[in-house]
Chains A and B, each alone.
Chain A
Amino acid sequence: MITVENLTREFKTYKKYEGFKGAIKSLFSNEYTIKKAVDSVNFTINQGEIVGYIGVNGAGKSTTIKMMTGILVPTSGKCQVNGIVPYEHRQENAKNIGVVFGQRTQLWWDLPLSESFGILKQIYEIPQEKFNENLAYLKELLGLDEFFTTPVRNLSLGQKMRADFAASMLHEPKVLFLDEPTIGLDIVVKEKIRKAIKDINKKNKTTIILTTHDLDDIEEVCNRIIVIDGGKKIFDGGIKDLKKNFAKYRSIKFDIRHNKYENINKLLEVEEADLIVKEEENELELKFHKDKLKIADIISKIVNIYEVRDITIEEPQMEDVVKEIYSGKIRN
C-alpha cells in the first residue's frame, strides 16, 4: 500500500547573524547549512494497518507525511502510495488519500459544515448516494449533528477536529494521514476520535498513519509503531517489541511486613543508576535495569531479608519508553 525507500528531504537554512549588524551581514552572506529533516527512511505499510509515527518535535514526522501526501518533493529517495508517486501525480494521489492536520483546519472558515461538505463532494466527485451514506455514517460516528449548520469559525476546537476528521473521510480514502489529530483536545473528544479511527479502519480497511505525542493514542489505536529521531528511523514494530527494546527499566514491588532500610544496592552488588530503591512504609519498590539484574535474583535476595507478603511485577510503561526515546538516550 505504501512503500518508502531511502526517502530523504533536506532543508537549506541560511546562516543568520545576531543583532542589527548581524542582520546586515546575513543579508549579504550566502552561507547556509543543510539539515536533513528526513534521512534515508525506509518502510512498507500494508493495507489496513494503523501505524503510529512518533518522535520528538522536529524529528521529521510531518516532513515524511508531507512527502507521502504530495505536499513536499523529496530531495532524494522514493515513496509510493497505492502505487502512485504522490509528488509526481499529486491530483491522482489526492483522490486516494485523506489528510488531517491537527493544527490547521481544512474547512472554510465562514461556511457551515453542511456547505463545506457540499463543496468537498464536488471537489472529490463523490456520487450522491455514496455521499449520503458516508455522511450519515460519519455524523453518527462523530456526533456532528449538534453543530452541522454552525459556521466553522464558531466551532470549538473539539468540534472542529471532529468536523475535519469527517471532512477527510467523506470520499472514503484508502489511506488516511492524521498529523496530531488529538492535539489540544479534551479527554472525551480524544476518545471519540480514537474510536472513530478504529471504526473506520475496521469498516473500510483504511490504512491509517498518525503522528502523535499522546501515549494513549499509541497504545489504544496503533498496531504498529515507527519511531523517527533526527530524521532517521530508529524503530519499526509492534508496541510489545517497542517496550522490550526501549524500556530498559522494569519495576518490582514488595509488600513487606517490617521496614528494614537495608542497603539493597550493596546487597545486589549494582550501582545506583541500575537499581533505584524506594522504601516506604510496608512497601519496597525496586526499579532496575533489565540487562543488569535478573528478576529471580532480586526476589530470592529480598525474600531472604524481608518478610514479604506480596510481590507485584510491573510491565514497562509506554510513558517510560517514550521518555527514553525523547530524551535521546537511545540514539546511540
Chain B
Amino acid sequence: MKRFLLIYLAFFKQQLKCLMEYKIDFLMGTIALGIQQISTFLILLAVFTQINAIASYSFNEILLFYGYSQIVRGIDHIYNDNIWSVGWGKIQDGSFSLYLTRPINIVSHIIMEKIQFDGIGEFLLGLIIFIYAKLQLNLVFSLGDHLAFFIFLITGLAIYFAIKLICASIAFWTVSSGELMTVTYEINSFSKYPLDIYKNVVLKSLLIYFLPFGVVSYIPMAYFLRDNQSIGKVLGFSYTSNNFLIMLTLIITIIFTIISQFIWKLGLKKYNASGT
C-alpha cells in the first residue's frame, strides 16, 4: 500500500507539472464541462418555473439527486479516466503490452498514469449544488447518516469502476470497445434524477440490477429523502429496515466487482498483443 501511494505520488507530481504545461487545454476542458453542467442545470430550472414537482419530487430534491450524482461522476472522472484508453485503442495498437512488463498491478498502473483534472469542475459544481440543496431541504445528517453517506460514496465509485472495467475488458475480444464504453457510461445520465420519475419498469430495474447506476445515486439519496414504500416500488419488492438499502448496495457492489475482475482476468489471457 505504501509502495502504491509512493508511485501514485510520483505520477501525481508529474501530472501537475504537465497540467502547468498544458494550461490552455486544461482551461478549455474545464470550461467545456462547466458549460455542459450549467446548461443541464438551467433546463432543470426552466422546467421548475412551470411546475412545482415531478413525481412528487420538489426542485430542491431533484437538485440533491443531481448534485450527488455529479459528485460521484466527478470523482470517477478525475481518478479513473485512463481506463477509457483500454477500450479506445490501447489494445488495438498493442501499446497495452507495456503494462504487462511492469511489476505492478495493471489496472492500478493504468489508473495512476492519468489524473483528469477536467473532472474537478464537475465535482465542485456537483458539491455546490448538493450542499445548496441540502441546506434548502433542511436535511441534517446524524452520525449514522454520515457513515451511510460515506459507504454510498465508496460503493458508488466502486460500481462506476466495475462497469467501466467490464466495458474496457470487452476490447480483449473485440479489439476496440470505446463506443460500448461511451454508450454505457452515458446511460448514467438517467441516474442523475430520481428513478421514480421514469414510468418504464424495465428501465428502472435495468438501472438497479443490470447497469447499477441507479445504485450509485438513486438509492443513496432516496435513503435520505424517501420511505421504504416508495423506494420498494422502484426496487420491485418491499423491505422493512432502512439498513437493508445499505446491505443491498454493498451486495450489488461486491457482485459487480467480482464480475468485473473475472472478466478482466479472462480478457488478459485472451490478449493477443497485436503489433510488433
Pick the contact of A97: B7, B11, B101 (CB < 8 A).
Answer: B101
The answer to whether B276 and A179 have CB atoms under 8 Å apart is yes
Q: Is B226 located at the chain interface by the 8 A CB criterion?
A: no
- When the two chains form their complex, are residues B271 and A72 in contact, meaning their CB atoms are under 8 A apart? yes
Given contacts A103-B276, A119-B10, A119-B14, are A69 and B101 in contact (CB under 8 A)?
yes
Q: Are A123 and B273 in contact (CB under 8 A)?
A: no
Q: Which of A87-95, A223-231, A300-308 contacts B (4 or more CB under 8 A)?
A: A87-95
A122 near B100 (CB under 8 angstroms)? Answer: no
**A298 sits at the interface (CB 8 A):** no
Q: How far is the CB of A245 from chain B (nearest CB, A)?
A: 27
**Residues in A neighbouring B269, C-beta threshold 8 A:** 73
CB distance from A56 to the nearest CB of B (A): 13
Q: Would you call A71 and B101 a contact (CB within 8 A)?
A: yes
Bound-state CA distance A127–B147 (Å) is 40
B97 within 8 A of A: yes
B17 to A69, Cβ gap below 8 A? no
How many Å lie between the Cα of A108 and that of B18 in the bound state?
11
Q: Does B98 contact A (CB under 8 A)?
A: yes
Q: Are B101 and A125 interface neighbours, CB within 8 A?
A: no
What A residues does B11 contact at CB under 8 A?
A: 119
- Decide if B276 touches A91 in the complex (CB within 8 Å): no
B236 at the interface (CB under 8 A from A): no
Is there contact, CB below 8 Å, between B17 and A94? no
Q: What are the interface flags for B9-30 relative to A under an 8 Å C-beta threshold, 1 for contact and 0 otherwise?
A: 1110010011001100000000
Q: Are A94 and B7 in contact (CB under 8 A)?
A: no
**B100 touching A123, Cβ below 8 Å:** no
How distant is A16 from chain B, measured CB to nearest CB, in Å?
Answer: 14
| Contact in complex: B273, A94 (CB < 8 Å) | no
Asked if A115 contacts B103 (CB within 8 A), the reply is no
Chain A-chain B contacts (Cβ-Cβ < 8 Å), number:
73
B35 interface residue per 8 A CB criterion = no
Partner of A119, one of B7, B21, B100, B276: B7
Q: Which residue of B lies closest to A67 (CB)?
A: B273
Interface residues of A in 177-206 (CB under 8 A from B): 179-180
- Contact partner of A123 among B14, B103, B276, CB < 8 A? B103
**Given contacts A71-B273, A180-B276, is CB(A94)–CB(B101) below 8 Å?**
yes
A69 touches B7 (CB 8 A): no
Interface residues on B, range: 20 to 34
Q: Which residues between 231 and 276 of chain B lie within 8 Å of chain A, taking CB atoms?
A: 269, 271-273, 275-276
Give min CB distance, B113 to chain A, whole Å: 8
Tell me, yes or no, whether B50 is within 8 Å of chain A by CB.
Answer: no
Q: Which residues of B contact A99 (CB under 8 A)?
A: 101
B141 CB to closest chain A CB (Å) equals 39
Which residues 118-155 of B have a CB within 8 angstroms of A? none
Judging by beta carbons under 8 Å apart, are A123 and B18 in contact?
no
Whether A92 contacts B276 in the complex (CB less than 8 A), given A72-B271, A119-B11, A122-B7, comes out as no
The chain A residue sitting closest to B3, CB to CB, is A125
A111 interface hit (Cβ, 8 Å): yes
Q: Are B10's CB and A91's CB within 8 A?
A: no
Check A110–B272 contact: CB distance below 8 A.
Answer: no
- The smallest C-beta distance from B268 to any residue of chain A, in angstroms, reads 8
Which residues of A are found within 8 Å of B104, using beta-carbon distances?
91, 123
Task: State whether the Cβ of B51 lies closer than 8 Å to any Cβ in chain A.
Answer: no
Interface residues of A in 122-154 (CB under 8 A from B): 122-125
Bound CA–CA A115/B3 (angstroms): 18
CA–CA, A97 and B103, complex, Å = 10
Report B78-111 CB contacts with A as 1/0, cut-off 8 Å: 0000000000000000110110111111000100
Q: What distance in Å separates the Cβ of B97 from its nearest Cβ neighbour in chain A? A: 5
Q: Shortest CB–CB separation between residue B109 and chain A, in angstroms?
A: 8
CB-based contact A66/B103 at 8 Å: no
A71-B100, A99-B101, A104-B275 given; A115·B7 CB < 8 A:
no
Q: Mark A49-87, 1 if CB is under 8 A from B, else 0.
A: 000000000000010001001111100000000000000
Q: Are A90 and B14 in contact (CB under 8 A)?
A: no
Query: In whole angstroms, how far apart are the Cα atoms of A70 and B97 in the complex?
Result: 9
Q: Which residue of B lies closest to A73 (CB)?
A: B269
Among A73, A90, A92, find the residue whose CB has the most chain B CB atoms closer than 10 A: A90
Residues from chain B with a CB closer than 8 A to the CB of A180 are: 276
**7 additional contacts (CB under 8 A) given A73-B269, A121-B10, A180-B276:** A66-B97, A72-B271, A73-B271, A101-B98, A110-B21, A110-B22, A122-B7
- B residues apposed to A, CB below 8 Å: 3, 6-7, 9-11, 14, 17-18, 21-22, 94-95, 97-98, 100-105, 109, 113, 269, 271-273, 275-276
Would you list 13 pairs from A and B whose C-beta atoms are within 8 A, ordered by A residue? Answer: A62-B276, A69-B101, A71-B101, A71-B273, A95-B103, A101-B97, A106-B98, A106-B101, A108-B14, A108-B113, A119-B7, A122-B6, A123-B109
A contact set with B: CB distance below 8 Å: 11, 62, 66, 69-73, 90-92, 94-95, 97, 99, 101, 103-104, 106, 108, 110-111, 115, 118-119, 121-125, 179-180
Closest 7 CB pairs of A and B: A94-B103, A122-B7, A71-B100, A95-B103, A122-B10, A99-B101, A91-B103
